[in-house]
Chains A and B, each alone.
Chain A
Amino acid sequence: MTSSRLSKGGRIDRSRSIRFLFDGKAYSGHPGDTLASALLANGITLFGRSFKYHRPRGVFAAGSDEPNALVTVLSGDVREPNVRATELEIFDGLVTRSQNRFPSLEHDFLAVNQLAGPLFSAGFYYKTFMGPAIGPLRGTRFWMFCEKFIRRAAGLGKAGTSPDPERYERMNAFCDILVVGSGPGGLIAAEAAAATGARVIIAEERPLAGGSLLASGEMIDGRNPAVWAREKAEALASLPNVRFLTRTSVWGYYDGNVLTAVEHVSDYKPNRTKGLARQRHWVIRTGRVILATGAFERPMVFPGNDRPGVMLADAMRRYAIEYGVATGSAVTLFTNNDSAYDAARALSIGGVNVVAIVDVRPDISGTCRDIASVAGAELLLGHAVTATHAGKTLSSITVQHFNAETGRVSGAPREIRTDSLGVSGGWSPAIHLASQAGGKPEWDEDLQAFLPPEPNQNWVMTGSAAGYMDTISVMSDAATKGSAKSRLVLPAVEAPMLDSSPAPVFEIEPAIKSQKAFVDFQHDVTADDIRLAYREGFHSVEHLKRYTTLGMATDQGKTSNVPGLAIMADVRGISIPQAGTTRFRPPFTPVSLGALAAERHGDLRPHRLTPMHDWHLANGAKTYEAGLWHRPMIYSSHGETIEQAYTREAKAVRDSVGIVDVSTLGKIDIQGPDAAEFLDRVYTNMFSTLPVGKARYGLMLREDGIAFDDGTTWRLGETQFLMTTTTANAGPVMQHLEYYLDCVWPELRVHLTSVTDVWAGSAVSGPKARAVLEGCVTGTKVDNDTLPFMGIVRGKIADVPVMICRLSFSGELAYEVYCGAGYGVHIWEALLAAGKPFAILPYGLEALGTLRIEKGHVTGAEIDGRTTAHDLHLDWMLSKKKPFIGSAMVHREGLKNENRLSLVGLISLDNQSINGGSHIVTDPRPREPADSFGHVTAACYSPALGKYIALALVKHGTSMIGNRAFATDLLRDKHCAVEIVSHHMFDAEGSRMHG
């Protein structure tokens, strides 16, 4: 246990201390630390247990590529699992917990899984748990038995169950150029781009700009590269045309140069100001993208490579230079390329003791030899690490001769004492976003890595992401990528001359293996799993990935992708590009659901309120949602059930008078010289013959002859109509009408405007309705001559202009009173006052529904996208004098078949309520739903009939009238004997509304 804080170095603020908890124990760190660096500084190298085998794991990387060190962050009852300790900035009061261990990290009960190694190899789940049981420990039943245990044993952190009280928000942004990454490439590209005057957004995933410069041993313009980067970033951020976002991870690249990013606005702060979001979800639309996303170092695959203490060489360097942390007291490096020497140089400058460098290559450059000798490290060329050893943490490694040509391990093992091993298997450009944007990555033989594909959107890649591996060439490429006409004077860079080309060695496979060699650390996929997958016939990379789950964990295979492909290519005897690679998909790094939902949490949808909404609530309305609308269901009195309330309300309408808010009906203003002709085409019945000042009930079909919507349309003038639609279909009907005007009949001069929100509507219904109007309407008479059925008059109520149309949904004498929405409450209250002598009652949707069910009027429950006008007994509305939308198809044989469901009424015979959705059957207790010959669309208690009734769609509907059947609800186990009757259950002649 020997990782520790160095006496100097790092961009941490040593003057201040931060206290935080990890697994219940208090530790301290400094501002600038991540959880990983702070724990390493405290000597902690064990961070978690692995996914399947519960192997002890330490920190492996220093950034978003971290596969092992995932922790759960706790904040009150809220838990956020799978947070990378390498990116989590510590703050006072931070509470974290390791994952996937039971009961504790040190003593993990499920580490016995390691002994059962072969059991959990590739395809374990498929082989063991899929399909029929053959033998006792097989098949789907066995899965059901094992599931609980396996779900506990395998996996990452546990998701929280408490609601997340944090604020998240979305931000829309537009720019000419988005630069992703602010390493040397990103900074120079952004500077060149900004110099052209373009609007530039720079997104940096880490808290500080600089990328590789933050841990580089180079000098830029004779200065510390991190300081140079900070000043460059500050200068850029101060430009008016530049927005510099730090802690912002660009995670998605979509069509049309739309990119998504998450900004960690305040989740690293212990105290947040009011209204500040925890995370901000950026949606950035940009003309051009410059991807300066850098490169990820790759691990080597060798036995024991997952031991805590083994990590990427670059991570080791970053802990030393950026955080002032030595990952060990005697550090060794294992590499196939020159970059580990640069790390060795930085480490020794930072005060870390590098004891040996193991290199698979038989020979290296003089520069590298010099670095090793200055660092005082023993050079073991043509060697490889073939095993690692540990008590609680790494104590030594076994090294053997290695032939890079043949891949053969030979010679006597030699043990080297070391408590921290840095590995470098070469570098993989971070091409994830480019890959998301489309195109196939291209293999570069020289770099032994996939380079970005040919762009098929407007993006370029620069820096190490584009394969430039030294700072000088990164900067000169970036300047031209930022602007083709760039005249930037690039800074002088002092750096050792290193070769960027690694030896093509990915795996060390000794003849005798005593330890597992891991490829995907997060999903516990070993090199042998890949070989097993191959033997079992999974050859393509897509199959390999799914069968072994390689690269499918939360890190998306950032470290494992190329080594996995290399091993697969090797067993297949083909090259890596022949094996191919899978396409990267969003998100590049895990994104919280909160950030995606942004302001849309809890109530996902806006509330749509009628002008009288507050009145309803103040007067006892219980509301429910109808689409986006909130509408009164009932106005309840004390101790009443819903049924009692709507029965009382509906009875008031039949006996005297009631009033209901109908402002939600869709209303469309239709104007123009061709308005009447247009309506003749969209409605099945005639509207050109409708006189001014009258309304007509209309039916619309879809083009295929199925019923679409119904409503009344009022002729307000020779060339002006007001169409009403059902509440639910207001939007679709508008869209339907616009489609025909734009795409089918552009020659018609008709304008459409939604005026749903302009009008408040109150429907007054009941035998006393006229008396109510007579008591308050001025400027017009409302008697039967002036205002006959379907007539329209204009007048005033309480000094406010109103438009009154006499039409009836309830079957009673009824009027719809429309006024400007701002006067909705005014008119509503005036009508109530005028209705007081008649004991007027406001009624809700339940009573409205009851009245219409009694009358057999259809709504969306019956016009359900499957029924025709014939099915609903509305075929009398199909004009034979003119074509209309649907007229060519409505008479198809299949749509008139006697077997179709058609509308009937049902009356309960046993005085029981009928459940909506019940099936109509002949057998009271059917075993199979197949016996059904219809279903209930709406049901209620009818105060007018004194019975429970329903509307239903039933096969051979009309000819079934008079028969008995059962309405059965298998889900709620409710079965009710019913008689099938005409859907006109009350006042079939319609005498009441014409009175």
Chain B
Amino acid sequence: MIIRCPYCGPRDVIEFTYQGDATRRRPDPASSDQDAWNSYIYDRTNPGGSHREFWLHGGGCRQHLVITRDMTTHAISSVAFARSIVAGESS
């Protein structure tokens, strides 16, 4: 599998580390809502088809990426820096 890092260009998947589901949102740090934390930490939907995930380009620019990947074909439809995506969504 090849991932096209927006900085480094196409690289082998071995340079990357899967860092989990990118659709979940961390609860307010001060929140004591156990259900919310529980779902953040443990619940994963594992959908067939398109999915958003974090990958760390640890073997390259060391940036986290948000990758949209088809879980059945491994086809990657979009790659972007996690920082800009997360910052964009929380602002």
Contacts and interface: CB of A to CB of B under 8 A. Distances in A.
Partners in one complex: yes
B17 interface: yes
B79 interface: no
Contacts of A438: 73
Given A739-B19, A744-B86, A285 B41 contact: no
Interface in B35-70: 37, 40-42, 54, 56, 58, 62-64
A735 B56 contact: yes
A735 B58 contact: yes
A473 B38 CA distance: 64
Nearest to B88: A746
A746 B26 CA distance: 13
A476 to B, nearest CB: 32
A744 to B, nearest CB: 6
Contact residues of A: prevailing secondary structure: loop
A746 B87 contact: yes
A10 B28 CA distance: 79
A251 to B, nearest CB: 18
A258 B37 contact: no
Contacts of A884: 29
Contact of B27 (A285, A747, A888): A888
Contacts of A739: 19, 54, 56, 64
Contact of A883 (B1, B30, B34, B90): B30
A313 to B, nearest CB: 40
Nearest to A255: B1
The 3 closest A-B pairs by CB, nearest first: A256-B2, A742-B64, A883-B29
A738 B26 contact: no
B10 interface: yes
Contact of A456 (B2, B26, B29, B73): B73
Contact of B19 (A257, A258, A283, A743): A743
A256 B67 CA distance: 15
B86 A746 contact: yes
Contacts of A741: 83
B41 A889 contact: yes
Contact of B41 (A254, A283, A704, A747): A704
B1 A258 contact: yes
5 contacts: A256-B1, A743-B22, A746-B82, A746-B86, A888-B31
A738 B2 contact: no
A285 B2 contact: yes
A281 interface: no
Contacts of A703: 40-41
A255 B56 contact: no
Contacts, number: 73
A283 B30 CA distance: 49
Given A704-B42, A883-B30, 18 more contacts: A256-B1, A256-B10, A257-B2, A258-B1, A283-B12, A285-B10, A681-B29, A704-B41, A735-B58, A738-B64, A742-B56, A743-B83, A744-B86, A746-B84, A746-B90, A747-B90, A883-B29, A888-B31
A283 B2 CA distance: 12
B12 A743 contact: no
A743 B29 contact: no
Contacts of A34: none
Interface string B3-19: 00000001011000101
A250 to B, nearest CB: 17
A883 B30 CA distance: 6
Nearest to A754: B62
A1 to B, nearest CB: 53
Nearest to A884: B29
A871 B63 CA distance: 35
B30 to A, nearest CB: 5
A887 interface: yes
A887 B12 contact: no
Interface string A231-258: 0000000000000000000000011111
A255 B32 contact: no
Q: Please classify how large the interface on chain A is, using the bins under 10, 10 to 19, 20 to 34, 35 or more.
A: 20 to 34
Nearest to A741: B83
A742 B2 contact: no
Contacts of A883: 29-30
A739 B65 CA distance: 10
Contacts of B2: 255-258, 285
A681 B19 CA distance: 20
Nearest to A891: B32
B62 A738 contact: yes
B37 A743 contact: no
Contacts of B12: 258, 283, 285
Contacts of B29: 681, 883-884, 887-888
Nearest to B31: A888
Contact of B56 (A738, A887, A888, A889): A738
Contacts of A681: 29
A126 to B, nearest CB: 32
Contacts of B82: 742-743, 746
A744 B54 contact: no
Contacts of B27: 888
A6 to B, nearest CB: 50
B26 A744 contact: yes
A166 to B, nearest CB: 25
A735 B41 CA distance: 18
Nearest to A456: B73
Of A738, A746, A883, A887, the most chain B CB neighbours within 10 A belong to A746
Contacts of A738: 56, 62, 64
Contacts of A704: 41-42
A884 B29 CA distance: 7
A889 B37 contact: yes
A327 to B, nearest CB: 46
A889 B62 CA distance: 29
Contacts of A889: 37, 41
Contacts of A743: 19, 22, 54, 64, 82-83, 86
Nearest to A704: B41
B81 to A, nearest CB: 8
Nearest to B63: A742
Of A456, A742, A889, the most chain B CB neighbours within 10 A belong to A742
A741 B73 CA distance: 31
Nearest to B30: A883
Interface in A918-945: none
Interface string A862-890: 00000000000000000000011001110
B86 to A, nearest CB: 5
A300 to B, nearest CB: 39
B73 to A, nearest CB: 7
Nearest to A752: B62
A257 B62 CA distance: 24
Nearest to B54: A743
A266 B53 CA distance: 44
A704 B54 CA distance: 19
A888 B1 contact: no
Given A255-B2, A256-B2, A742 B83 contact: yes
Interface in A454-507: 456
B87 A747 contact: yes
Of B26, B73, B87, the most chain A CB neighbours within 10 A belong to B26
Contacts of B62: 738
Interface string A569-585: 00000000000000000
Nearest to B29: A883
Contacts of B81: 742
Contacts of B22: 743
B9 to A, nearest CB: 11
B34 to A, nearest CB: 8
A735 B17 contact: yes
Nearest to B66: A743
A842 B54 CA distance: 45
A887 B34 CA distance: 11
Nearest to A888: B37
A739 B26 CA distance: 13
A742 B40 CA distance: 17
Nearest to B17: A735
B26 to A, nearest CB: 6
Contacts of A256: 1-2, 10, 13, 74
